[in-house]
Amino acid sequence: MRRVILAVTGTIAGLVALLSFKSHVPSVPVAATTGGSGGSSSSSSSSSSSGGQTTTVPGEFPQGSLAGQLPAGETAVDGKAADTAYGPVQIQLIERNTKIVKVAVLVQPANTLHDIQIGAFAFPKLISETLAAQNAKIDAVSGASYTSAGYIASLQSALDQSA
């Protein structure tokens, strides 16, 4: 019985120690990239009403600007950073002959591992489905989820800018 108590209290104490050290760590510093060839003359970068921080996060989906590595005939257009409840989302479209061939994520919320998780498996799908949605020849997308909203808004703005 003594061993059980020792194991339980030791585990809890260890967890509390680890977590409290990490709760003093400030959120990851912002490193939003807005490169790419799609500059616009409209207003400046987003004002985040939530105060969330963002960073480019390594992941499986194309991340970071692809503008510098494009073959001939492809152009990169950056959407504006669009706000979500937990931070801005910004995407970049790679277009060839009026078709979107690739989508890269420039900025996504990364306050917690959960954010990164959502991004890591949501964004590849979001991206592949953008390419499919394009075939549906729609004029707009209506939706409510936060990543979608930010993504859609950013997607919309990227399209808007290049039109």
Partner 1 sequence: MPGGGVLSGSLGSSGSGRYRHAEHVMGTVVSFDVPARAREPRGPAGQIGGPLGEAVRWLHWVDATFSPYRDDSDVSRFGRGALPLADCAPELAEVLEGCAVISARSGGYFTTMPGGTFDPSGYVKGWAIERAAAIFTAAGSAEHSVNGGGDVQFVGDRLWRVGIADPLRPGRLALVVAGRDFAVATSGVAERGAHIIDPYTGQPPVGLASITVVGATLAETDAFATAAFAMGSAARDWVESLDGYEAFAITAAGAIWQTSGFGAYLG
Partner 2 sequence: MPVRPKNRPTRVGARGLLAAIITGGLVVIALWWHGSPGVHGLGGWLTGAGEILGLLCGYGVVVLVALMARLPPLERGLGTDRLARWHAMGGRYVVSLVVAHGLLIVWGYAVTAHTSVVSESATLLTQYPDVLMATVAGVLLLGVGIVSMRAARRRVRYETWYFLHLYTYLAIALAFSHQLAVGASFVGNLAARFWWSAMYVTVLVLVLWYRVAVPLRSYRRHRFEVLGVKAEAPGVISVYIGGTRLDELDAEPGQFFRWRFLTRSLWWSSHPFSLSAAPGSDVLRITVKNLGDHSQALARLQPGTRVFAEGPYGAFTPADSDRGVLLLAGGVGITPLRAIFAALPGQVTLIYRASSERDIVFRDELDAIAAARGGCVHYLVGSRDEIGGDPLSPRVLRSLVPDLDEQDAYVCGPAGMTSAAVRALRDAGVPRQRIHFESFEF
Q: Which residues bind partner 2 (CB under 8 A)?
A: 3, 7, 11, 14-15, 18-19, 22-23, 25-28, 57-60, 110-114, 116-117, 120-121
DSSP state of 28: P
- Determine if 39 is a binding residue for partner 1 (CB under 8 A): no
Distances (CA, A) of 157 to 26, 39, 121, 126, 144: 31, 12, 23, 16, 17
In this structure, what is the dihedral angle of CA atoms 120, 123, 129, 134, given to the nearest 10 degrees? -160
Site for partner 1 in 77-116 (CB under 8 A): 79-80, 82-86, 95, 98-100, 114-115
Q: Taking the complex as a whole, how short is the minimal distance between the CB of residue 58 and partner 1, in angstroms?
A: 20
Q: Taking the complex as a whole, how short is the minimal distance between the CB of residue 106 and partner 2, in angstroms?
A: 15
